[in-house]
């Protein structure tokens, strides 16, 4: 049964008022019943995290990790099997989606095809019963914010994908929500437009001061835009922190491999007490055979312009990759070498839960 607590429950918590988070997800699990007698799916497994006011927060993980489910629970389209979700200290689980001060930008945009751009943007404000003059001003301001001036009377079908995307942002931001949820909003755009919209999203967040929660499977996108990232896998949060922190000090083997690239070596082989160590390819070095390090054989050399990639097979099994600024003259596949790294480059990482 779902545990529900009153709005006062948020005030009795042990967290000091000054550090009260905007969103507090506490021990949330979501189990989907299997269809036609199939096995049930545990989409979220005892997830707890806090989102601060005005931050750009990202839920990052591969498909099926539960990130979209968590977003839908906050929006109110799904109900958790266990746990609580508080917004400004108030339990929002009893509230239907239309009573939550939270708006969503859908992956499919989900614009209203029978309404014009201006009518789409005005929809939320009108449902909130704002006076007509205020709605008009706010719609104009939002359309200017997303730079769609002149397209107010178009229908969504008459817009390009990027323009539809901007309407979706304007529509969701117009009611000035406490929280904006973005479900892989850039995944339908081509690469060039996606890079452009990443900057645009950062600008929108800065200018509106609204807290953004982004769901994505694109680690570059997450690193580029987020204040903090929660890396998820199989319904669990593996690590939560600032982008640099997650990149430099990955907590588990999966995080090290998913965020950027990493060579994962068993701790025992390199004298580390941790189960594994992760070494970034750009910090991996290549020395002549016999030097201190791991004996290896070069299997492939890939010239990338600015860098050169060296793939190596370790003598004791396993593979490593080095990404060097300066190519090693005469080093070709088949050569025996030693793979090494500076002491501070080997990050101890835990096995995944």
Partner 1 sequence: MSAARGFDWRRTPGLGTFTALVFVFVYAPLVVLVVYAFNASNLALVWGGFSVEWFAKALGNENLRRAATNSVIVAVVATVAATLLALPAALALERGRAFRGKAAAEGLVALPLVAPEIVTAIATLVFFSAIGLRLGLGNVALAHIVFCIPFAMLPMRARLREMSPDVENAARDLYADEWQVFRRVTLPLMAPGVVAGAMLAFIVSLDDFLITLMVADAGATTLPVYLYGMLRLGVTPEANAAATILLAVSVTVVVVATLVMRRGERAVAA
Residues that bind partner 1 (CB under 8 A): 75-77, 96-99, 102-104, 106, 108, 110-114, 123-124, 127-128, 155-157, 164, 171-172, 175
Q: Which of 20, 17, 16, 41 lies closest to 31 in space, CA to CA?
A: 41
In angstroms, what is the minimal distance from the CB of 68 to partner 1? 12
Residue 118 · residue 126 · CB < 8 Å: no
Nearer to partner 1, 124 or 293 (CB): 124
Contact assessment for residue 323 and residue 262, using Cβ atoms and an 8 Å cutoff: no
Q: 76, 95 in Cβ contact below 8 A?
A: yes
**CA–CA gap between residue 179 and residue 123 (Å, rounded):** 18
Strand partners, 308: 303, 324
**157 or 332: CB nearest partner 1:** 157
Q: How far apart are CA 330 and CA 180, in angstroms?
A: 54
Nearer to partner 1 (CB atom), residue 163 or residue 285: 163
Beginning with the edge strand found earlier in the chain, give each strand of the sheet holding 336-340 in spatial order: 285-288, 336-340, 294-303, 308-314, 319-324
Question: Closest approach of Cβ 260 to partner 1, in Å?
Answer: 33
- Of the two residues 30 and 347, which places its CB atom closer to partner 1 in the complex? 30
Q: Is 52 helix (H, G, I), strand (E, B) or coil?
A: coil
Q: Least distance (Å) from partner 1 to the CB of residue 97?
A: 4
Q: Quote the tokens at residue 14.
A: 């042990």
Cα 270 to Cα 276: distance, rounded to the nearest angstrom: 9
Which DSSP helix (H) or strand (E) runs through 230?
strand 228-233
CB 258, min distance to partner 1, A: 28
Nearer to partner 1, 158 or 336 (CB): 158
Nearer to partner 1, 204 or 259 (CB): 204
Closer by beta carbon to partner 1, 107 or else 297 = 107
Give min distance, CB of 173 to partner 1, in A. Answer: 11
Q: Are 30 and 43 in contact (CB under 8 A)?
A: yes
Nearest-approach distance from CB 212 to partner 1, in angstroms: 15
Q: What is the nearest approach in angstroms of partner 1 to the Cβ of residue 266?
A: 45
């Amino acid at each position: 049964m779902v545990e529900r607590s009153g709005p006062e429950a948020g005030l009795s918590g042990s967290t000091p008022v000054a550090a009260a988070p905007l969103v507090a997800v506490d021990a949330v699990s979501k189990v989907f019943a299997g269809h036609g007698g199939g096995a049930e799916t545990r989409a979220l497994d005892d997830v707890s995290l806090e989102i601060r006011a005005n931050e750009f927060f990202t839920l990052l993980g591969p498909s099926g990790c539960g990130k979209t489910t968590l977003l839908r629970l906050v929006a109110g389209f799904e109900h958790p099997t266990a746990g609580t979700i508080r917004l400004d200290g108030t339990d929002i689980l009893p509230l239907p989606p239309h009573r939550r001060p939270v708006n969503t930008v859908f992956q499919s945009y989900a614009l209203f095809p029978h309404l014009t751009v201006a009518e789409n943007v005005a929809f939320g404000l009108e449902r909130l019963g704002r006076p007509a003059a205020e709605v008009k001003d706010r719609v104009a301001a939002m359309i200017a914010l997303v730079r769609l001036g002149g397209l107010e009377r178009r229908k969504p079908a008459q817009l390009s994908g990027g323009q539809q995307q901007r309407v979706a942002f304007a529509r969701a931001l117009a009611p000035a929500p406490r929280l904006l949820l973005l479900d892989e909003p850039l995944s339908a755009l081509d690469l060039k437009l996606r890079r452009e919209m990443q900057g645009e999203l950062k600008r929108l967040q800065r200018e509106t001061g609204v807290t953004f929660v982004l769901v994505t499977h694109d680690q570059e996108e997450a690193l580029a835009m987020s204040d903090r990232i929660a890396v998820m896998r199989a319904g669990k949060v593996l690590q939560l922190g600032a982008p640099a922190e997650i990149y430099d000090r990955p907590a588990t083997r999966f995080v090290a491999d998913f965020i950027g690239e990493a060579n994962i070596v068993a701790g025992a082989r390199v004298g580390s007490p941790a189960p594994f160590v992760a070494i970034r390819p750009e910090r991996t070095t290549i020395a002549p055979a016999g030097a201190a390090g791991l004996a290896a054989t070069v299997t492939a050399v890939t010239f990338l312009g600015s860098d050169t990639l060296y793939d190596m097979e370790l003598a004791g099994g396993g593979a490593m990759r080095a990404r060097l600024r300066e190519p090693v003259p005469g080093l070709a596949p088949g050569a025996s070498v030693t793979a090494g790294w500076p002491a501070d480059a080997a990050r101890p990482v835990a096995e995944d839960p």
